[in-house]
Amino acid sequence: MTEYHYLEVEGLNVFYREAGDPGKPVILLLHGFPTSSHMFRDLIPVLAEGYHVIAPDYPGFGQTTSPDRSSFSYTFDHLTEIIAAFIERLGLTKYALYVFDYGAPIGFRLAMNHPDDVTAIISQNGNIYEEGLGKKWAARAEYWRNPTPQKRESYRSAFEADTIKSQYLDGTQANRVSPDGYNLDIAYMSRSENDEKQLDLIFDYQNNIKMYPLFQQYLREYQPPVLAAWGKNDVSFIPEGANAFKKDVPDAEIHLLDTGHFALETHANEIGELIGAFLKKYDIL
């Protein structure tokens, strides 16, 4: 049974979902944009049979405190600091990382800073390679080079209702995706003053791409077990990003699934089974 908790971390109430036997190996699930730990609602019961599963919400997302921009810097470095403090507060010293979307630059910062703590990395459309960036990223790169107020304003479209819905539905079979996930995300994104926080993170994403070579160096040096379970119809993070893991971890296991960006909406059981077999192969039991 999944439990729902809050933990005080640096003055914030960090919400997290927890399931499974605390004596089992830990899997830390890191969500993406524009969602929360709710995205793992179908995967958690599958993994909890053999693992201790923990899924936090970041500041500004889901049920975690959403501090004002005047007192909290919305950058990926800062989100990582909060999640690192959360991990320390829970006393986690060994864990596998499941990274998706925004969870990838956060998770790879954690892994790079604490390589001995990470037992494995599962990437589900969690990109760290330039070849994995879809066509939309060329426009964002131009925005980062020339960050005018008008261009910043244009990125409000990223968290409009139609955009969020399309993130869930694009690349999936008709009538396979529940509306619960995208409607909840739409509600979260429409909260007062959330827009500027999200625009800050969109602008800061450029620093994730600048860190790609460091993330890749971490992989080459430490060779953690890597599983990429990837929605191959994702237009944001295209399949080349999954295949690229083999450049740095030749034994990386790659699975391209016939679905879109939010692969768990249609393939939670399949991805859960892939994770179980993968971790068993590396004796993470």
Active site residues: 261
Is the dihedral angle over the CA atoms 133, 163, 194, 186 positive or is it negative? negative
User: In the structure encoding, which two tokens stand for residue 211, read together?
Assistant: 């860190």
CA distance 253 to 155: 35
Contacts of residue 118, Cβ cutoff 8 Å, sequence gap at least 6: 95, 96, 97, 110, 111, 224
In the sheet with 12-19, reading across from the earlier edge strand, the strands are 3-9, 12-19, 52-56, 26-30, 95-99, 118-123, 226-231, 253-257
Instruction: Note the residue count of the chain.
Output: 285
Amino acid at residue number 165 = K
Q: Tokens at residue 248, please?
A: 């740095």
Q: Please give the full DSSP string across 72-102, using - where no structure is assigned.
A: S--SHHHHHHHHHHHHHHHT--SEEEEE-TT
- Residue 175: CB partners within 8 Å, gap ≥ 6? none
